[in-house]
Amino acid sequence: MAYPGHPGGGYYQSGYGAAPGGPVFPGQTQDPLYGYFAAVAGQDGQVDADELQRCLTQSGISGGYKPFNLETCRLMISMLDRDMSGKMGFNEFKDLWAVLNGWRQHFINFDSDRSGTVDPQELQKALTTMGFRLSPQTVSAVAKRYSTNGKITFDDYIACCVKLRALTDSFRRRDAAQQGVVNFQYDDFIQSVMSI
């Protein structure tokens, strides 16, 4: 699946955003999203998980679906946080906004009954269209992890997409031969998984 401005499937070849934080660059103040970012970011010019949660809840990006939980916001920030500060700057915020809108549209496309949830079969179709090639057993495990009573809400769908993407990126960085097999040292494995 390709998102506006982002070619490709389940992960993006070019990475995700630029370096976190940093100074205001010329032209940012003209960006319509910058005013919103500046209002949310506060004094430090960065957005942390609490600020992101308030921002996404107030923005209405989730439509009629439940607001984002704090853990989902932490996951989204960890996907962008190159300096391990626990926060993101404007460029990452802007990229996140674009990807969230893409994932929202994707979710709506697979929420065929407009219930605000997708079931495990719809999740499998969605993941396949994003380029994730997972076995039925893996999709079942993912669906169980992110569903409540067999239904996956938008918030949990986003958490699932973020985690799958981050794990895939981590795996691919270690899969130099692109064979689908890597060897992890225990400490490297724990760092990879715990940083997501």
Instruction: Please give the torsion angle defined by the CA atoms of residues 73, 106, 137 and 75, in that order, rounded to the nearest 10 degrees.
Output: -10
Contact assessment for residue 95 and residue 17, using Cβ atoms and an 8 Å cutoff: yes
Residue 196, in any domain of the structure:
no
Query: For position 151, what pLDDT does the model report?
Result: 92
Distance CA 3, CA 170 (A): 21
pLDDT of residue 63: 61
Low-confidence ranges of the chain (pLDDT < 50): 1-27
Residues 112-131 as b or e (16 or more Cβ within 10 Å = b): eeeebbbbbebbbebbeebe
Residue 13 lies in a domain: no
- How many angstroms separate the CA atoms of 51 and 40, rounded? 6
Confidence at residue 21, expressed as pLDDT on a 0 to 100 scale: 35
Residue 83 located in a structural domain = yes
In a domain, 17, yes or no: no
Query: Could you read off the pLDDT of 115-148 as tens digits, one per residue?
Result: 889 999 899 999 898 888 889 999 999 999 999 8
Residue 9 lies in a domain: no
The per-residue pLDDT for 34 is 86
pLDDT of 64 reads 57
Give a yes or no: residue 149 inside a domain. yes
